[in-house]
Amino acid sequence: MRPFRRRRDGQIAVNLNDAGRDFVRHVFREIVAAEYDDDGVIHPVIYARITPGLDHDDPTRLFERQQEVSSVAQRALQTCDDDLLNDSDAWAWLRTIQVALRSHAFGRDIRTAQDYQQVEGDLRVYLESLQYLAWGLARALSS
Amino acid sequence: MTTITSPHIDTVVDHQLDKVWKVIVLDDPVTPMLVVTMVFQKVFGYPKEKAEFLMLTVHHEGRAIVWSGERERAEHFCVALHSHGLLATVEQED
């Protein structure tokens, strides 16, 4: 069964068991908390340079990004027990999962396909779970 | 009668504003291709065909210029891409 499916009424049905719900709740909480965790694996990605050619980034843009990531993750967290998502909520899930996916890869120096091929164990399972959920949401949103 | 003379005002022109700025998306090994395509459609409003072409360019070339124009909008788009979990940056055109 697909994890997410577009229904005839336009809503997206969430087909996750308790373990799946716990997993996404953990992911969403991690991104919400990342705003205050300077040393965490998520932080460097959320605070990556925007315009490296300049001496410093525009503070307004930095604030805009911080607010955007945080508010989207909080929205995802608020809906993580819902059985049906509208498109806006489904995008909040997808965006938060995608930020988590890339942050964990980036934070462990997984920059190339060759790097990724060498990943094993729990990290591999974690990244593949995030990929599966991101892909499932994208597929449901595009249908 | 008072004669008013206009003060001499030096103006500083920021030539960076005249140039074109590019939004560049960089490849990463974990993001599903479908997600990249959909984010391009959502953030830039591109049709599916253009979004897929850009996604494949990122995948095969390692990077792609996905938008170019004034700096402020380029940075806005870059922030939007970051908040959708893509690896992006802004560069000034040579």
Tens place of pLDDT per residue across chain A (143 aa): 789 999 999 999 999 999 999 999 999 999 988 877 777 777 777 777 888 888 888 888 888 888 888 889 999 999 999 999 999 999 999 999 999 999 999 888 898 999 999 999 999 999 999 999 999 999 999 99
Question: Would you mind telling me the total number of residues written for chain B in this entry?
Answer: 94
pLDDT digits over B11-38, tens only?
Answer: 555 555 568 999 999 999 999 999 999 9
Name chain B contacts of A142, Cβ cutoff 8 Å: 34, 38
Q: Which of A58, A68, A110 is the closest to B30 by Cβ?
A: A110
* pLDDT for the residue A6: 96
Which site among B67, B83, B86 would you substitute to test the A interface, given the most A Cβ atoms closer than 10 Å to its Cβ? B83
Supply the ipTM of this predicted assembly: 0.90
Judge whether B85 is closer than 8 Å to chain A, CB to CB. Answer: yes
How many CB atoms sit inside 10 A of residue B41's CB? 17
B19-92 to CATH, choices 3.10.180.10, 3.30.300.30, 3.30.70.100, 3.30.1390.10: 3.30.1390.10
- Smallest CA–CA separation between B7 and chain A, in Å? 32
Cα A73–Cα A143–Cα A104 angle in degrees, nearest 5:
35
Whether the pLDDT of residue B1 is over 70: the answer is: no
Q: Is the pLDDT assigned to residue B88 strictly greater than 70?
A: yes
Nearest CA in chain B to A138: B35
Q: Which residue has the tokens 């049905």?
A: A13
Please return the burial class of B43, using the count of CB atoms within 10 Å of its CB with bins 0-12, 13-18 and 19+: buried
Question: pLDDT class for B93, splitting at 50, 70, 90?
Answer: confident
* Cβ partners under 8 Å of residue B94, min gap 6: none
Distance of CA A43 to the CA centre of its chain: 13
- Cβ of A135 and B32 within 8 Å? yes
Chain A residue with Cα closest to B35: A138
Residue of A nearest to B76 (CA): A61
Q: What is the mean pLDDT of residues B43-67?
A: 97
Domain spans of chain B? 19-92
* The pLDDT value given to residue B22: 96
Q: Quote the pLDDT of residue B7.
A: 62
Give pLDDT, residue A50: 83
Please judge whether B35 and A95 are an interchain contact, meaning their C-beta atoms are less than 8 angstroms apart: no
Is the predicted pLDDT of residue B48 greater than 80, yes or no?
A: yes
Task: Judge contact between B10 and B4, C-beta under 8 A.
Answer: no
Query: Are the Cβ atoms of A101 and B30 closer than 8 angstroms?
Result: yes
Neighbours of A13 (CB within 10 A): 16
Write down the mean pLDDT value for chain B: 88
Upper half-sphere CA count for residue B61 (Cβ side, 13 Å): 13
Strand order in the sheet with B63-69: B63-69, B21-26, B88-92
Q: Does the reported pTM lie above 0.90?
A: no
Which candidate in A45, A49, A50, A123 is best for mutational testing of the B interface (most B CBs within 10 A)? A50
B23: distance to nearest CA of chain A, Å?
A: 9
- Kindly give the residue spans of alpha helices, DSSP state H, lying in A15-111: 18-34, 43-46, 59-78, 87-107
Per-residue pLDDT, A7? 96
Cα distance between residue A102 and residue A11, in whole Å? 27
pLDDT given for residue A61 in this prediction = 84
Question: Are B32 and A134 in contact (CB < 8 Å)?
Answer: yes
